[in-house]
Amino acid sequence: MSGVPGASGVPRVPGRVPDPLEVPLLLPGDGPRAPRTALRALTGHPLGFLRTSWPWRSLAYLLSGTVFGAVPALVVWLAVAAGPVAAVAVVAVAAVPGALLAGRYERWLLRLVETAPIADPHAAPPAPGPRAWLRTRLGEQATWREAGHTLLAVTALWWIDLGFVGVGVWIPGLLLSAPLQPSSPLGPALSLLVSLGGVALLPLAAYPVTIWAGARATLVRTLLSDPGAELAEITRSRARLADAFEAERRRIERDLHDGAQQRLVALTLALGMARLDLPAGSPAADRVAEAHEHALLALAELRELIRGIHPRVLTDLGLPDAVLDLAGRSPVPVETDVVLPRRPPPAVEITAYFTVGEALTNVARHSGASHCLVRGRLVSEDPRSGGILVLEVHDDGDGGADPAAGTGLAGLADRLAVVGGVMSLSSPAGGPTLLRVEIPCP
Amino acid sequence: MRVVLAEDSVLLREGLAGLLERFGHTVAAAVGDAPALTAAVAEHEPDIVVTDVRMPPGFTDEGLRAAFALRAVRPGLPVLILSQYVQQAYVAEIMGPGIGYLLKDRIGHVREFADAVERVAAGGTVVDPEVVRQLLAHRRDPLRRLTPREREVLALVAEGRSNAAVARSLVVTEAAVAKHIANIFAKLDLPLAGDDHRRVLAVLAYLRG
């Protein structure tokens, strides 16, 4: 059902689809189609995989991870040498800086098995100085995720790393070196056979090593990156795009208004004056009369066109007046009740305006309503994050409005999605219909 | 009749000045912003001010404000306001004797425009048909009892036209118009009044509820 374009009014958030424009720094020798993570590389051709650098990178990654094993060793050594109290004290003092360092180290290491870097999830301290720094670090989620990661790395990850390195390298190595073991109970022939088995095992070992390296990297990425970063960036770029479109529409509107529209008014004026001076009934008078009518029509059409691009009443006076203007044009009597304590940002305003316009068009065309009410309020206003613009269009028509039926409602939902808005529709058969729109209003 | 004209577009300003002179009026001053309008009225004491709503420096409603500031000092100074679009929020509130409110597009209908200037200068009230149309669109109940013809008549009356002018416009007899108006006023429970602009004001007062 969602396969039909435009059939679904629900905005879709793009998933993690490989995007050619998003290609990060490439590894040496890698083409644009090369896999970007060790795990992805595993799904390629098995022999081809062995020829890449991924198994070696994975091995290096796991070996680097075993560094965390030094921490428990250090604690044990301290506990033995200076007593358990000193050990606990050292761990307590070093915990936060240690976790931060560990996080940084792991993010850096991750580049071994994933080409896409992780952005630093930490916020910049609002003021210089160690006090502000510490307060910021202790107050943000990223620090505590890093602490969690460090705890996990110290208690579990390092010996699992070691285990996989052991399985992958140590066992084949042991087998390989069978002929060289002086105290081997095997005969020379059997030793050689075991050694050959080691040779066969070595490439196979690349798989468990890479699989664990990939899984570990995924875990680390989840813990050490800002979970909302990607979505926030998509949202921001979408908002920037919407703002750019909006600015462009306003520019076009201004140009048409200051240029073509003024000239057309002047033209209708000049033609109207010419009509006065020409003797009535003369061929010239008829021609000029015709031209005058055309110019008046062109002016009316241009006015409508400009209104569709970006209504001046909205730019000048804001949403309540613009909704009043829309209501005045509706063939169905429309009552308006839009009260806003401030003007929303332009992109929100214009989206809200076109939403109400489309809704009123639908009411007039399809609903058979005799009365319609448009309400608008700014709710949950908060000085930091702004509020939510809520618009409701009620009508007493026949109901049965269906976003899938091509009534323009699907287009509305798409338009709203750009500014992060949502639409809900209640339209039982027999009516009444309520269209409700909520737009975040920073 | 002496006119002070304020319009920031040179093209339109010259066109309007030409139009007014063509109809035998004197354009005492044609200016391009609100402070110049105030100065020109002080200097020339015109019979009517024709001004654009939007003007420099702020391009919001400088012209309108300047005109009403002038009216505060000179009660009854006729003002014809030209607007790019209907500002419903206040159009019904500002109307009164000697005030006209027309959309700029109306300039092209030169004869009607010149007629409107003269009626406003004479202390009448002129409202753009679009304003009436939009105000009518808002109102339900009693207005819905009007026949389409009566709505047409009401719109023309709200423009400040006399019965004779309405009759000419609709190509009917004056008696027919009078009958329509009586019907409208009865349906809307409006008091009967003599003057044109009082009729307009009564209609507007009703429309803005």
Confidence of residue A382 (pLDDT cuts 50, 70, 90): confident
Tokens of A130: 């160690």
**Facing residue for B137 by CB, picked from A258, A316, A333:** A333
Contact, A360 vs A401, CB < 8 A? no
Based on DSSP, count helices (H) and strands (E) in chain A, helices before strands.
Answer: 17, 5
Interchain contact, B108 vs A296, CB within 8 Å: yes
| Residue owning tokens 């009410």 | A373
What is the nearest CA distance from A4 to chain B, expressed in angstroms?
Answer: 39
B33 and B106 inside one domain: yes
d(C-alpha A209, C-alpha A62), whole Å: 8
B121 and B165 inside one domain: no
Confidence of residue B89 (pLDDT cuts 50, 70, 90): low
Q: For A13-32, what is each residue's pLDDT tens digit? A: 344 444 444 434 444 444 55
How far from chain centre, in Å, is Cα A253?
Answer: 30
Q: Which helix (H) or strand (E) holds A394?
A: strand A386-395
Q: For B40-68, what is each residue's pLDDT tens digit? A: 999 999 999 999 998 888 787 889 999 99
Q: Which of B109, B127, B145 is the last residue of a domain?
A: B127
What residues of chain A lie within 8 A of the CB of B55, using their CB? none
d(C-alpha B206, C-alpha A391), whole Å: 28
- Is B10 touching A (CB cutoff 8 A)? no
pLDDT, position A274 = 93
Q: 3-state class of A337 per DSSP? A: strand
Residue in B closest to A294 by C-alpha: B108
B50 and B100 inside one domain: yes
Compute the average pLDDT of residues A394-420.
Answer: 79
Mean pLDDT of chain A: 81
Tell me: ipTM over 0.85. Answer: no
d(C-alpha B86, C-alpha A422), whole Å: 31
d(C-alpha B63, C-alpha A58), whole Å: 74
Highest mean pLDDT among A50-64, A170-184, B177-191: A50-64
What residues of chain B lie within 8 A of the CB of A331, using their CB? 137
Neighbours of B78 (CB within 10 A): 26
What residues of chain A lie within 8 A of the CB of B9, using their CB? 258, 262
Contact, A150 vs A143, CB < 8 A? no
Query: With pLDDT > 90 as the criterion, what percentage of chain A qualifies?
Result: 14
What is the nearest CA distance from A390 to chain B, expressed in angstroms?
Answer: 21
What is the tally of structural domains in chain B?
2
B74 and B12 inside one domain: yes
- R_g of chain A, CA atoms, integer Å: 35
Q: Which of A337, A145, A286 is nearest to A228 (CA)?
A: A145
Residue in A closest to B58 by C-alpha: A316
d(C-alpha A36, C-alpha A62), whole Å: 18
Interchain contact, A317 vs B18, CB within 8 Å: no
Q: Which of B80, B108, B127 is the last residue of a domain?
A: B127
Instruction: Compute the residue count for chain A.
Output: 442
- Residue A106 burial (10 A CB sphere; 0-12, 13-18, 19+): buried
B47 and B123 inside one domain: yes
The DSSP secondary structure of A302-325, one letter per residue, reads: HHHHHHHH--HHHHHH-HHHHHHH
- Per DSSP bridges, beta strands B26-31 and B2-6 are parallel
For residue A230, what are the contacts with CB-CB under 8 A and spacing of at least 6?
none
What is the nearest CA distance from B192 to chain A, expressed in angstroms?
Answer: 27
B156 and B118 inside one domain: no
Q: Which of A331, A255, A389 is nearest to B148 (CA)?
A: A331
B83 and B105 inside one domain: yes
**Residue A23 backbone dihedrals phi, psi, to 5 degrees:** -60, 125
Among A333-337, A405-409, B18-22, B189-193, the minimum mean pLDDT is found in B189-193
Q: Which CATH architecture has domain A316-441?
A: 2-Layer Sandwich (3.30)
Interchain contact, B89 vs A320, CB within 8 Å: yes
Q: Which of A191, A106, A93 is nearest to A152 (CA)?
A: A106
CATH of the domain at B115: 3.40.50.2300
**Facing residue for A321 by CB, picked from B12, B89, B107:** B89
Interchain contact, A334 vs B137, CB within 8 Å: yes
Interchain contact, B15 vs A265, CB within 8 Å: yes
B6 and B34 inside one domain: yes
**Facing residue for A317 by CB, picked from B89, B104, B134:** B89
What residues of chain B lie within 8 A of the CB of A371, using their CB? 140
d(C-alpha A335, C-alpha A333), whole Å: 7
Residue type, A352: A
Interchain contact, B108 vs A333, CB within 8 Å: no
Q: For A299-320, what is each residue's pLDDT tens digit? A: 999 988 888 888 888 888 889 9
What residues of chain B lie within 8 A of the CB of A317, using their CB? 87, 89
Mean pLDDT of chain B: 84
What are the angstrom distances between the C-alpha of A168 and each of A161, A163, A194, A219, B171?
A: 10, 8, 16, 21, 101
Decide if pLDDT at B199 tops 60: yes
d(C-alpha B111, C-alpha A271), whole Å: 12
What residues of chain B lie within 8 A of the CB of A313, using their CB? 85-87
Q: What is the domain extent for residue B153?
A: 131-207
Residue type, B56: P
B141 and B170 inside one domain: yes
How far from chain centre, in Å, is Cα A147?
Answer: 27
What are the angstrom distances between the C-alpha of B31 and each of B25, B37, B63?
A: 16, 6, 11
Contact, A379 vs A390, CB < 8 A? yes
Decide if pLDDT at B151 tops 60: yes
DSSP-assigned letter for residue B53:
S
- Where are chain A's structural domains? 20-227, 231-309, 316-441
B138 and B164 inside one domain: yes
Residue type, A164: F
B105 and B65 inside one domain: yes
B13 and B99 inside one domain: yes
d(C-alpha B72, C-alpha B110), whole Å: 30
**Facing residue for A321 by CB, picked from B87, B107, B139:** B87
